[in-house]
Amino acid sequence: MTSHVKLRKEKTGTVDYDIQIKEVRCQLVDQLKVLDLKLEQKTQQLQDLTDYLRRRGEIENEYARSLEKLAERFSSKTKSQTSVLRKDTTTNSVSQVWVALLTHTRQESKDHSEISESCSNVLIQPLTNCLDYTQRLARKVSLQPQQCTKKPWVLDKSTSLY
């Protein structure tokens, strides 16, 4: 009778343990789902930001090249005129205006070329690293539920020893 009660108690303890393990497993699976969703959102955000910077870099580059071409076109045009009319003070003042205007245009072109470089390379690099890290994390997370499904069987075997 005593051994029967002892066996019953042991069986009840094993069942409680199984229930607890199942509950923890369910909680873990739920938390992993939340983490998985968050990782997915983060990946999307990083991807969007990378896309924005890549396109912005292209736009800045196009703008810089257009300004450079414009400056180049009028630089050669006004240079030939200036060389012909060097002694005329009025023309000199106009040519000075041209020099200032084209210098300013070239400077703007350079500035936007640097912004393009920053967008396309400098800023994208840490984002790409972050994206890689997030994706590695996402892969690990996607493997966790399998491990969770395996573990209880291991635990079930171990608990059967009690």
52 binds its own copies (CB under 8 A): yes
Helix and strand counts by DSSP (H, E) for the chain:
3, 0
Residue closer to its own copies, measured from CB, 23 or 88: 88
Cβ 135 vs Cβ 43: under 8 Å: yes
12 binds its own copies (CB under 8 A): no
Per-residue b or e along 64-87, where b marks 16 or more CB atoms closer than 10 Å to that residue's CB? beebbeebeeeeeebeeebeeeee
Cβ 106 vs Cβ 43: under 8 Å: no
Nearest-approach distance from CB 154 to its own copies, in angstroms? 35
Nearest-approach distance from CB 31 to its own copies, in angstroms? 15
Residue closer to its own copies, measured from CB, 22 or 110: 110
Contact residues for its own copies, defined by CB under 8 A: 41, 44-45, 48, 51-52, 55-56, 59, 62-63, 66-67, 70, 74, 77-78, 81, 85, 91, 94, 101, 105
